[in-house]
């Protein structure tokens, strides 16, 4: 088998994994939209959903990295750094969710007596969710560009 045939076979194997992971991510159906729910149970469930989504996303992005690494090591290393940042952003989001779970009244829009700490946490959850969403969009866009510019040529 030639090198190009081996490369195509490896790309196809990873493509199958990416398709499966993409389907699983779609089924999780996680949204970064922050809702003003103030029950401990809601935030517990939200954290579990995010953990599940984040773990599956990291699995997906690791496969993207593996695929990129077959063709362009330098670009794949840059993507790996972005994956690490995505992981870090996710951990920070979980920390904020934990603070809200412990004190869910933070998100109560009717509470006019909120402390500055509560207001800061409420702002941080929205800000961190947006950072995660935007970072993930950027990663997906980079992969789409890579696919269009690098992978398509090889697979044709």
Question: For a pLDDT cut of 90, what percent of the chain falls above it?
Answer: 72
User: What is the model's pLDDT at position 106?
Assistant: 75
Which residue in 21, 92, 84, 108 sits closest to 50, CA to CA?
92
Chain segment 96-107, per-residue pLDDT in tens? 999 999 988 877
The tokens for 49 are 């959903």
List the domain boundaries for the chain: 3-103+112-155
pLDDT of amino acid 47: 96
Mean pLDDT for the chain?
91
Q: Which pLDDT belongs to residue 20?
A: 97
Single out the residue of 147, 103, 137, 141 nearest to residue 122, CA to CA: 103
- Where is average pLDDT lowest: 4-13, 106-115, 132-141? 106-115
**Is residue 40 within 8 Å of residue 106, measured between CB atoms?**
no
């Amino acid at each position: 088998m030639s090198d190009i045939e081996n490369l195509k076979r490896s790309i196809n194997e990873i493509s199958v994994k990416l398709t499966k992971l993409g389907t699983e991510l779609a089924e999780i159906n996680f949204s970064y939209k922050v809702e003003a729910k103030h029950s401990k149970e809601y935030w517990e469930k939200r954290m579990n959903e995010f953990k599940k989504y984040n773990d599956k996303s990291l699995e997906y992005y690791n496969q993207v990295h593996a695929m990129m690494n077959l063709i362009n090591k330098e670009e794949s290393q840059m993507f790996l750094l972005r994956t690490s940042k995505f992981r870090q952003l996710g951990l920070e989001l979980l920390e904020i969710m934990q603070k809200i779970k412990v004190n869910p009244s933070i998100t109560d829009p009717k509470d006019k007596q909120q402390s500055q700490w509560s207001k800061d946490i409420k702002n941080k959850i929205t800000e961190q969710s947006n950072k995660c969403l935007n970072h993930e969009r950027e990663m997906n866009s980079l992969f789409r560009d890579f696919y269009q510019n690098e992978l398509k040529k090889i697979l044709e």
